[in-house]
A = this chain, B = another copy of it.
Amino acid sequence: MPEGRYLFSVDGGGTKTEYCVYDMDLRKMQSFRFGSTNYKNIGLKEAASRLKNAFYTICDSLNIELQEIQGMVIGVSGCDTESDYAVYQSIVKHMGLDLKKVYICNDSEFVFLSVADKPGICVISGTGSIAVGFDKEGKTYRCGGWGRPLSDLGSGYWIGEQMLKKWIKYCDGQEAYNEIYQTLEEFYHFEKAEELPYYIAAMSQRDITAAAHLVCDGADRGNSLCGQVVAEAAEETADLAVAVYERIHPEKQEKIHVVISGSIFKGDFYRRTFQGIFREKTGHGNIEYIPLNQSPAQAGIRLARDIFHAN
C-alpha cells in the first residue's frame, strides 16, 4: 500500500476536465475545473500538455509534493481500446507519477465504482451515451458509447439531431408547426429567417447538442413533440442498459445497482421513461437507481480510497 496524504480523482470528459483532490489529514476535498483533455477531440500533444499543466498548477497551489500523493484515479470518456489506455499511461508517466499509483478507466466504470457495488449497471447520458454492466466476478460488459453519429444513441447529441431534423422538415414545409421551433429560433438567433434551413444544417456538433436541454424541458412541460423525441431517446438508452443487463444475468430477486449519470438524466420525463422501459424489458423487480448527485470527479475519491487506501 503506497503512503501519502492526498488522493486525486480526475474526470476527463468530452467538454471539460475536473480534478478533485482529497486531503486525508484534513478530510477536505477541493475541485478544479479545466477544458477538454480528450485526445480524440483536441489531439494527443494538447491533451497531454493540458492534463500535465493542470496537475502541476494544482500541486503548486496546494503545496503538494509528488511523493505525498497516495493514488490517483482517472476516468476518461472515449477511453475504449488497448491503445487508448496506452496513450493515457504514457501521459501519466510524463506527469512524473508512478503507474502503480494510478488507476485509469473508462468514465462509466469510474462513475459506477465510485458510488455503487457489483452487480450493476452504469448508464451515462450526456453529450454521448453508454451503458456498462459489472457482474459479481468483476467482469465488465459495455454497449454504446462509440461516438457520434453512429453510436451514443439516445444521448444529448442524438436528441438534438432528431429535433433539428424535424425543424428542417418544418422549414421545408414537410412538418406542422410546433412551439419548440420558436423556442429554438430564439435560442440560436439566426440572422435571416429565409436562410433558416441553411443555418440549421451548418450547425456544429456542439450546437446540435445544445438543443437537447430545450427539448427535454419541453417534454417535462408536456409538449407532445418533445415528449415523442425524448421517449424515443429514453428507449434507445434503455436498450443499451438492457443489452448489458442480459450479459451480467443477475438472479431475478437479486438487488442490482443502476447508476444513472449525465445531464440528460436530470430531465424528469427522460429519467422516468428510461426507468419504466428498463423495468419492463428486463422484468427485474429489485433495482436501486443511484443518481450521481456529486460530480464524477468528487464521487471518484471514494474509488481512489477503495483502491489505494483500503482501510
Contacts and interface: CB of A to CB of B under 8 A. Distances in A.
A243 B173 contact: yes
Given A174-B143, A174-B243, A240-B174, A149 B149 contact: yes
Interface string A140-181: 011110110111010000000100110010001110000000
A195 interface: yes
Contact of A147 (B143, B147, B202, B239): B202
In the complex, the count of this chain's copies comes to 2
Interface in A239-260: 239-240, 243, 246-247
Contacts of A143: 172-174
Contacts of A80: 198
Contacts of A200: 146, 150
A225 B300 CA distance: 43
Q: How large is the interface on A (under 10, 10 to 19, 20 to 34, 35 or more residues)?
A: 20 to 34
B161 A247 contact: no
A195 B149 contact: no
Interface string A114-147: 0000000000000000000000000001111011
A197 interface: yes
Contact of A201 (B151, B168, B202, B243): B151
Contacts of A198: 80-81, 146
Contacts of A141: 173
Given A151-B197, A201-B150, A201-B151, A144 B161 contact: no
A147 B146 CA distance: 23
Contacts of A173: 141, 143, 243, 246-247
Query: Which 3 A-B pairs have CB atoms at the shortest separation, nearest pair first?
Result: A146-B201, A143-B172, A147-B201
Given A144-B172, A146-B197, A174-B239, 10 more contacts: A81-B198, A146-B200, A147-B201, A150-B161, A150-B168, A150-B200, A151-B165, A151-B201, A153-B165, A174-B240
Interface in A64-100: 80-81
A42 interface: no
Contacts of A172: 142-144, 240, 243
A48 interface: no
A197 B202 CA distance: 27
A154 B134 CA distance: 39
A203 interface: yes
A208 interface: yes
A311 B87 CA distance: 69
23 contacts: A80-B198, A81-B195, A142-B172, A143-B172, A143-B174, A144-B172, A146-B168, A146-B197, A146-B198, A146-B200, A147-B202, A149-B149, A149-B161, A150-B161, A150-B168, A150-B200, A150-B201, A150-B203, A151-B165, A151-B168, A151-B197, A173-B243, A173-B246
